[in-house]
Each structure stands twice: as C-alpha cells, then as structure tokens.
C-alpha cells in the first residue's frame, strides 16, 4: 500500500502543493540515479535532510554507491523506514549506446530496474519511474497519455517494458514520461549548451530540420517531479515543455539570441536526424502533450526563449564569446 508522502522539502513548492505535510515525521525521497543530470538537481533541491541519493560511477557528496546491476538495494540503504518514496532515474540514457549493446543495456535498464521496483514495493514505498518520449514511434507527434506507444528504439522498448512491469504490479505507482530536458548552464552538455562550443568555433553546423520534441527546462523537471509526488499522482503522465520545437528551430533561436550581442559567424546546414550515423533509425516527432500533467499539478513551465536568454546571459557572464 502506498500513501501520500509527507516529504521534507518545502523549497519550490506552494503551500497548497504541500498540504500532505502533517504531524507525521517527514520522510526522505530515495533518488536512484542522484548523480545524473536530473538527479543532481533533484538532490540539490531537496538537500540531505530531504533525500538520500545514489550514484554509480560518478560520486556525489553525501551519496550512496549503488550499482544496480551488481548490488542489491537493501544492502546499501541503511534505513528504509526513513524513506517515503523512490524516484527511479538510473539507467543508461543514451539511446545509441543501448542499441549498440542490447544485452548490457537490457540488463541495466530493465532487469536491474525491475529488481529495484520489487524492493521498493516490498518496502511499501511510493514509486516514481521516469520513462521517456521514446516510447513513441515519432510518426505523428503531440502524443498524449492515451496514444498507444510503439517504440522503434531499443531504449524506448526498454522503458516501455519497465512501464508495463510497474503498472501491472503497482496501481499506486507514478510513471512520468519525460521530454528532452535542457539547461541554461554553459558546459552542461545538454542540447542547447552543447551548441556553444560549435558556435564559438564558427563555420557550418549540421542540424536536423525534421526532428521534433517538447523540451523542458531542467529546474521545471525537478519541480514537476516534486509536485507530482506531493500530490500523490498515480498512473502515466507526460512531463514536457509547454510547446514542441524542431531541433533546428532551437538552434536558430539560440543564434538569434546571441546575435543581439554581436555578430555570430555560423551557418546552419539542415539535414535529417537519420542522416547522422546512428545505430538505429530515430523517431522523427516525439513531441508530447503535457496537458494532463499541467491540469493535475497546475505547474507552469518556462519556454525555450527564456532558456536561450538565460543561457546566453550565463555564457556572457563567463566571458564566453562567439568570435
């Protein structure tokens, strides 16, 4: 049995969203994959008083080493009673790497995650599993939660396999299908920030003009996860940015933002996503409709023009220059 979790974090949440906070002692969130891109931000938001976080290869301060393939969760979590919910972020999140070694990626992304789910269920914890836009085939885009999944990537099939495993066993579980998460920090190596070195170098940037998705600002992803837990949402929700973009539109937006501060000598060479040397054919339009999530949580997420502005501001503050 899962029940609403009184969680210790208050930062970034409204009083209304925090209504489960009661006389009961607050319990921590167990972040599985706390050293990853989303996990680090989630851990930073909650702090050690609000969360316990695991890492595998990249140690984090105050974190617990956990290799989901070779270790058992009960052997590393010292006090399961202090945990209210488990947020599963761990896995190999590179679609191409997953396709290149199907056996290894299935072992990590499916078998070990199922084992983690079994342990959390045995402990009676609320489970939040992060799935992906790649459970869809990308033929039409604008997918809502009623659209039938049909992954064409191994990574998407692995996510869907876990979704189904969890949904069959735990009706109280929450599955958040995340869209592409981006940050406004130079050096983060997410979609927008990873263009900065190429822009600084100048010349031609090849960019897919066909691929579309619904990018989500990283801090908003964290807020969404916490709000969803606070409200004890169950079932499947799409956690995505406010509107879809084609990849090339985002590059154009970033360049336009930079050109406000000086000349930028970059030319975009449009191509198709599948013109890149990828192991598998990639879906074209995996944009998600976040309406169900927005209605349930009343979250308001920031748009990509704002993220581009913030990224350029941060890059300029670091004395980064396009020329």
Ligand X SMILES: NC(=O)c1ccc[n+]([C@@H]2O[C@H](COP(=O)([O-])OP(=O)(O)OC[C@H]3O[C@@H](n4cnc5c(N)ncnc54)[C@H](OP(=O)(O)O)[C@@H]3O)[C@@H](O)[C@H]2O)c1
Measured between its terminal Cα atoms, the distance across the chain in Å is 59
Least distance from ligand X to the Cβ atom of residue 250, Å = 13
Residue nearer to ligand X on the CB measure, 6 or 150 = 150
Query: Binder to ligand X among 9, 29, 36, 285 (CB under 6 A)?
Result: 36
Contact residues for 201 (Cβ-Cβ < 8 A; gap 6+)? none
Give least dist CB 33 to ligand X, A: 3
Decide whether 39 or 244 has the Cβ nearer to ligand X.
39
Token pair for 164: 């189904």
Beta strand 181-182 with 212-213: parallel, antiparallel or unpaired?
unpaired
Tokens of 193: 């920030």
- 58: contact with ligand X by CB under 6 A: yes
Window of 6-14, 89-97, 229-237, 291-299 that interacts with ligand X by CB under 6 A: 89-97
Does position 93 bind ligand X by CB under 6 A? Answer: yes
Pick one of 85, 89, 212, 253: the residue that binds ligand X (CB under 6 A). Answer: 89
Rounded least distance, CB 158 to ligand X, Å = 9
For Cα atoms 310, 311, 317, give the angle at the middle one, nearest 5 degrees.
Answer: 90
Closest to ligand X by CB, 90 or 312 = 90
Does 214 help bind ligand X (rule: CB under 6 A)? Answer: no
* Choice from 56, 183, 223, 257 touching ligand X (CB under 6 A): 56
> Residue count at the site for ligand X (CB under 6 A)?
25
Binder of ligand X out of 15, 57, 260, 300 (CB under 6 A)? 57
Q: How far is CA 72 from CA 120, 215, 267, in A?
A: 11, 34, 50
Alpha carbon distances (Å) from 288 to 7, 149, 291: 29, 12, 9
Told to check if 108 binds ligand X by CB under 6 A, we report yes
- In the list 43, 55, 217, 301, the residue contacting ligand X (rule: CB under 6 A) is 55
**Interatomic CA distance for residues 234 and 112, integer angstroms:** 22
* Chain residues in the site for ligand X (CB under 6 A): 33, 35-39, 55-58, 66-69, 89-91, 93, 108, 130, 132-133, 178, 180-181
């Amino acid at each position: 049995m899962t029940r609403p979790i009184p969680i210790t974090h208050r930062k970034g949440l409204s009083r209304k969203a925090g209504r489960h906070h009661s006389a009961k002692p607050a319990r921590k969130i167990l972040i599985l994959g706390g050293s990853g891109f989303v996990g680090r931000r989630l851990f930073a938001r909650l702090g050690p008083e609000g969360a316990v976080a695991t890492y595998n290869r990249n140690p984090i301060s105050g974190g617990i080493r956990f290799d989901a393939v070779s270790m058992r969760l009960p052997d590393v979590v010292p006090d399961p009673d202090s945990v209210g919910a488990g947020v599963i972020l761990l896995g190999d999140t590179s679609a191409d790497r997953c396709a290149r070694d199907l056996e290894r990626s299935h072992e990590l992304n499916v078998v070990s995650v199922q084992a983690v789910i079994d342990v959390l269920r045995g402990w009676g914890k609320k489970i939040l599993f992060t799935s992906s836009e790649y459970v869809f085939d990308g033929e039409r885009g604008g997918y809502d939660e009623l659209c039938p999944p049909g992954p064409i990537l191994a990574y998407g099939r692995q996510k869907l396999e876990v979704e189904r495993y969890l949904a069959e066993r735990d009706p109280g579980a929450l599955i958040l299908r995340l869209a592409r998460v981006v940050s406004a920090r130079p050096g983060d190596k997410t979609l927008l920030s990873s263009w900065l070195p190429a822009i600084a170098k100048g010349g031609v940037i090849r960019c897919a003009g066909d691929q579309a998705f619904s990018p989500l600002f990283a801090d908003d992803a964290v807020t969404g996860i916490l709000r969803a837990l606070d409200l004890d949402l169950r079932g499947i929700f799409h956690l995505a940015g406010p509107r879809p973009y084609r990849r090339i539109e985002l590059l154009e937006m970033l360049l336009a933002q930079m050109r406000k501060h000086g000349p930028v000598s970059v030319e975009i060479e449009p191509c198709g996503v599948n013109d890149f040397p990828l192991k598998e054919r990639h879906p074209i339009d995996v944009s998600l409709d976040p309406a169900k999530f927005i209605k349930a949580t009343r979250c308001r997420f920031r748009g990509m023009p704002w993220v581009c502005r913030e990224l350029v501001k941060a890059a300029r503050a670091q004395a980064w220059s396009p020329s």
